[in-house]
């Protein structure tokens, strides 16, 4: 199959592209550095000629509200228009668990917009909603840290390894479009502050976790269990401790 991986140079995208190439598919890496830009439209219609599947693993340059909303709205419109002309048979997009309940947060409103544009396009689609990646822990420490302290809440947390995410993206992209949303999450649920403490220990950082019951994440208020799946979901295989120790 010919498959366009938008964001194919990113954390998940590069892994997905490599797995698809190993399986013998014709893969086009879609990113500005490869001459394909979903905001300006550069290279988009050319790359879609004869393409069966589009996998959207792009991200905005920052999570700031206006930037993210502009990015996902413009990219969604450009992608849908070009894919309709090309007759793409399956569009898969990677989104985030729980976003319906936290639409007061700009970045998550932008991700919902990204989902809605593809849902309403008439193009066969699959939406994968994932929990936070194991790899995202270092961002939490950087953003919520101050000097040697890291302030972390006890929100329910169930991170998944990027490797597991990429495996599910590949598996579902090669199946028929579900026209539905599928959730994925890691194998272990625990309070967020526990995961951060374990990560700090495993990586030998001299930081101290200050636990808080304020249900904050990235300075926003979250309902206690919104970051973990509510119903059925596909489970990742890679445990956090095994990932952190390797
Ligand atoms: N972080 C988490 O825990 C988490 C959890 C669930 C879902 N997600 C979602 O997963 C998705 C992928 O995340 P990631 O961490 O793998 O992303 P990432 O590493 O930040 O990669 C983003 C990709 O988007 C590409 N890109 C940026 N602007 C573009 C443009 N104008 N045209 C085409 N491509 C463009 C980048 O290309 P360049 O390399 O050329 O800049 C890069 O390949 C995101 O949409 C995110 O919302 C993340």
Question: How much of the chain exceeds pLDDT 90, in percent?
Answer: 99
Give the alpha-carbon dihedral of 78, 81, 87, 93, to 10 degrees: 40
> What's the rounded mean pLDDT across residues 214-225?
96
Q: Where are the alpha helices (DSSP H) in 87-180?
A: 106-119, 137-144, 162-173
* Burial class of residue 197 (count of CB atoms within 10 Å of its CB; 0-12, 13-18, 19+): middle
User: What SS3 class is residue 17?
Assistant: helix
Q: What are the backbone dihedrals phi and psi of residue 9, each rounded to the nearest 5 degrees, phi first? A: -105, 0
| Band of residue 246 on the pLDDT scale cut at 50, 70, 90 | confident
Listed by start position, the domains of the chain span 2-245
Atom of ligand 1 nearest to the CA of 111: 47
**Minimal-distance CA residue to ligand 1 atom 21:** 10
- For residue 29, pLDDT beyond 90: yes
Is residue 94 lining ligand 1, measured as CB closer than 6 Å? yes
Is residue 136 lining ligand 1, measured as CB closer than 6 Å? yes
Distances (CA, A) of 35 to 31, 71, 91, 194, 200: 7, 17, 20, 42, 39
| Strands of 38-179, DSSP E | 53-56, 90-96, 125-130, 145-146, 149-153, 156-157
pLDDT score for 177: 98
Is residue 165 lining ligand 1, measured as CB closer than 6 Å? no
Radius of gyration for the alpha carbons in the chain, expressed in angstroms and rounded = 18
Q: Hey, CA dihedral for 2, 7, 12, 15, is it positive or negative? A: positive
Give the alpha-carbon dihedral of 125, 80, 185, 245, to 10 degrees: 130
Is residue 76 lining ligand 1, measured as CB closer than 6 Å? no
| Band of residue 6 on the pLDDT scale cut at 50, 70, 90 | very high
What is the distance in angstroms between the CA of the first residue and the CA of the last residue of the chain?
34
pLDDT score for 172: 98
Mutate which of 4, 5, 9, 10 to test ligand 1's pocket (most atoms within 8 Å of Cβ)?
10
CATH number attached to the domain at 2-245 = 3.40.50.720
Give the distance (Å) from ligand 1 centre to CA of residue 9.
Answer: 8
The model's pTM is: 0.98
Give the distance (Å) from ligand 1 centre to CA of residue 240.
Answer: 22
CA atoms of 21 and 28, how far apart (whole Å):
10
Is residue 96 lining ligand 1, measured as CB closer than 6 Å? yes
Is residue 38 lining ligand 1, measured as CB closer than 6 Å? yes
> What's the rounded mean pLDDT across residues 214-239?
97
């Amino acid at each position: 199959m010919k498959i366009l991986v938008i964001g194919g140079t990113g954390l998940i995208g590069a892994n997905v592209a490599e797995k698809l190439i190993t399986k013998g598919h014709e893969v086009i890496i879609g990113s500005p550095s490869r001459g394909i830009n979903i905001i300006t439209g550069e290279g988009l219609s050319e790359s879609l000629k004869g393409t069966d599947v589009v996998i959207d693993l792009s991200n905005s340059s920052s999570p700031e509200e206006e930037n993210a909303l502009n990015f996902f709205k413009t990219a969604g419109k450009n992608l849908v228009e070009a894919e309709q002309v090309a007759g793409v048979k399956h569009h898969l997009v990677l989104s985030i668990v729980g976003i319906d309940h936290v639409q007061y947060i700009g970045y998550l409103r932008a991700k919902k917009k990204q989902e809605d544009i593809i849902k309403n396009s008439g193009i066969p689609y699959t939406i994968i909603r994932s929990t936070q990646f194991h790899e995202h822990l270092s961002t939490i420490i950087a953003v919520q840290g101050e000097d040697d302290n890291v302030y972390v809440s006890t929100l329910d947390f169930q991170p998944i390894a990027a490797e597991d995410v990429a495996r599910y993206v590949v598996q579902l992209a090669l199946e028929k479009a579900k026209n539905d949303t599928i959730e994925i999450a890691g194998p272990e649920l625990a309070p967020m502050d526990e995961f951060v403490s374990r990560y700090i220990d495993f990586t030998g950082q001299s930081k101290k976790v200050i636990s808080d019951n304020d249900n904050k994440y990235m300075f926003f208020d979250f309902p206690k269990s919104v970051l973990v799946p509510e119903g059925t979901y596909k489970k990742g295989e890679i445990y956090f401790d095994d990932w952190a120790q390797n």
